[in-house]
Amino acid sequence: MSLAPVTSAIDLAAKPSWRSVKNSIASGLMAAAVLAVATPLVLVLASVIAKGAGVAFHDFPDFFTETVPIVSRRAGPGMGPAILGTLLVTGVATLIAVPLGILGAIYLHEYGARQRFARIVRFMAMVMTGVPSVVMGLFVYVTWTLTFGYSAFGGALALACLMLPVVIGTTEQMLKLVPDHLREASFALGAGKARTILSIVVPAALPGIVSGALLAVARAAGETAPLMFAVGAATAYNGHVFGGANTALSVQIFGNATSSFAAAQDRAWGAALTLLMLTFLVTLVARIVTARVQSKR
Amino acid sequence: MVATPASPASPASPASSKAPVTARPLHAAPVPVARPSAADMLSVAEPVFEIADLEVYYGKFRAVRNVNMTIRKHQITAFIGPSGCGKTTVLRCMNRMNDLVAGARVGGTLRYHGVDLYDPQVSATEVRRRIGMVFQKPNPFPKSIYDNVAYGPRLSGIRDRAKLDEIVETSLRAAALWDEVKDRLRDSALGMSGGQQQRLCIARTVAVEPEVVLMDEPCSALDPIATARIEELMRELVSRFTIVIVTHNMQQAARVSDTTAFFTAELDPSADRRCGLLVEFGATSKLFSNPQDERTENYITGRFG
């Protein structure tokens, strides 16, 4: 059924008003802000890909498997030991910091709540977020490296110290977002506190907790200063976590980029691209795994 | 029966006050019994809760006082009254949910089958397994329909797949939800309608086989059709459980309950704040047709509240 056209006295068309002008200005400002944020991001990504792709994918997969040339002015691959080193150091750091951070946040939010001790811990964690990574590297250098020498584990310790406050902070925020009525529902069925936290609260907050952990991992993977203190800059593969100097992509990027030889600078670009891809890959895998776990329940 | 301070629960014979600590009848499993006819049930059925001079404080503020009543087995007891009169507060004392509120404190006695629920030896967890609760807002867990119902049984250590399947089915049937969800037990419970979610919460509560089901305005977030279904459900469930329901809806209390407690709020001279109290407690038919207290009459006839 269609309505017959009529001319009406009521005019519903939009009229120019100060309100609509304000709306356009605000929308324009927001679009400009997005552009301002996105521009450097895109430029960085573009230049890393432009300068790094040729190096990293030349004679694939040599760049990702060959050892670092001892004589840095010689052209050619690769970054194999640095990839292994970054995986080792960041992996061990994640193993230390993520469980500790999540457990700490659970204590702070579910058990400590407003107690004095919890407040102090929360404050210290916040302060720790602001500690420069160089200072953390120096700390590990003094307490660990001077005694036990260079090792991947020393670097992992420094990175774990940097990750811990991030994991604690984000996890606690996520636990705060779990509505109390879910806790009540669990208690009303006769569940204890530990059971409620494990079966209801943590699963409900899981996607956020994983995001927080990923943020911390991504940040740690790019850290350079603490690793130079604790890990060293080896050129050969070293699969040992505790023994001997190791290396990492970030350390290699710094070393090669500051070198005066063009071949080394090329390798730095290749390593930068490799690090970007690695971080992207880890994030992707973690997201997929969380989605799987979520849909299973 | 007008509530007076010395009413039902007070016969504190030495036996009933002494026995609980040693005998711990809290561990006795609830046995479903056939429902006696409505007439003789009111005074004859076994008391489940005996409440005497109950008062509840939140910090320094006294929220409710003078609560004396006996809640009997296989009956629906309704708590009615205006907002802020302490209905929900009293209900939440009956399975120790008020323990979760910081600063909540209980005075007087609240006995469940003779055991003082606030005895330091009584575990709130044990209490809540026997006395379940359905909340005002449907609060399913962000899990599948199946896992929502299986949560309680799994808590008590049931891992056997077939056994869990059976419990889930019977519980969902008891909540009149089975036919609607049997093909999507693995779907998230959050995708259901409000009425379905509330029936799921009832199924979840029923699945742990409690003796008592406390309902805190279970229909206030639902439309009339969903409300009617839940009321019908309550009438079915009362043959297996003892039900206590808080409601703002007097018609609902009149429709479903056997016994009604009318609460109101009055100015507490000592604190200069309004404090809830129990005004009248008795058979629903009597309370609505022939209220003993003027305040009850004013409320149910709509002159107040």
DSSP-derived letter for residue B27 is G
CA B303 to each of CA A117, B277, B280, B300: distance values in angstroms, whole numbers, following the listed order:
54, 19, 17, 8
Q: pLDDT digits over A41-79, tens only?
A: 999 999 999 999 998 898 888 889 888 888 888 888 889
- Burial of A167: CB neighbours in 10 Å, binned 0-12, 13-18, 19+: buried
Distance CA B72, CA B33 (A): 13
H/E stretch holding B171 reads helix B161-174
Taking only residues 181 to 210 of chain A, the set having a beta carbon closer than 8 angstroms to any beta carbon of chain B reads 181-192, 195, 199-200, 203-204
Q: What pLDDT is attached to residue B1? A: 42
pLDDT tens, position by position, A121-134: 999 999 998 899 99
* Cβ pair A145, A245 in contact under 8 A: no
Q: Stretch A263-286: mean pLDDT, rounded?
A: 92
Q: Do B139 and A185 touch (CB under 8 A)?
A: yes
- Counting as low any pLDDT under 70, the low residues of chain B are 1-44, 271, 304-305
What are A165-216's pLDDT values in tens digits? 999 999 999 999 999 999 999 999 999 999 999 999 999 999 889 988 988 9
pLDDT of A294 over the 80 cut: no
Q: Residue B78 belongs to what domain range?
A: 43-142+210-300
Q: What is the rounded CA–CA span in Å between residue B199 and residue B187? A: 16
CB A64 within 8 A of CB A82: no
Does A181 sit within 8 Å of B151, measured CB to CB? no
**How many domains does one find in chain B?**
1
Q: Which domains does chain A have, with CATH numbers?
A: 80-264 (1.10.3720.10)
In a domain, B180, yes or no: no
Q: What pLDDT does A22 receive?
A: 94
Q: Is B122 domain-assigned?
A: yes
Q: Is B275 contained in some domain?
A: yes
pLDDT mean over A27-40: 97
Distance, in Å, from the CA atom of A119 to the CA atom of A110, rounded to the nearest integer, reads 13
Assign residue B220 the CATH number of its domain: 3.40.50.300
Each residue's pLDDT tens digit, B24-46 = 445 444 444 444 445 455 556 78
Q: What is the mean pLDDT of residues A128-148?
A: 92
Q: Residues A178, A183, A184, CA angle at the centre, nearest 5°? A: 135
**Taking CB atoms and an 8 Å cutoff, what residues of chain A touch B124?**
187
Q: Average pLDDT over chain A, rounded to whole?
A: 90
Query: Measured between beta carbons, which residues in chain A are less than 8 angstroms from residue B144?
Result: 297
Residue A188: which residues within 8 A CB-CB, separation 6 or more? B95, B97, B128, B132, B133, B135, B205
Confidence of residue A233 (pLDDT cuts 50, 70, 90): confident
Chain B residues within 8 A of A183 when measuring between CB atoms: 100
Nearest CA in chain A to B208: A189
Q: For A293, which residue in chain B has the nearest alpha carbon?
A: B143
Q: Tell me how close the Cα of A177 comes to any Cα of chain B, in angstroms.
A: 13
CA distance linking residue B221 with residue B149, whole number of Å: 21
The neighbour count for residue A257, using CB atoms within 10 Å, is: 14
Q: What does the pLDDT read at residue B213?
A: 95
User: Average pLDDT of A224-235?
Assistant: 88
Contact A177, A115 (CB under 8 A): no
Question: For A154-165, what is the mean pLDDT?
Answer: 94
Interface of B with A in 124-163 (CB under 8 A): 124-126, 128-129, 132-133, 135, 137, 139-144, 147, 151-152, 155-156
Statement: residue A157 has pLDDT above 50:
yes
- pLDDT one-digit tens code per residue, B216-232: 999 888 888 888 888 99
Q: How far is CA A285 from the centre of its chain?
A: 13
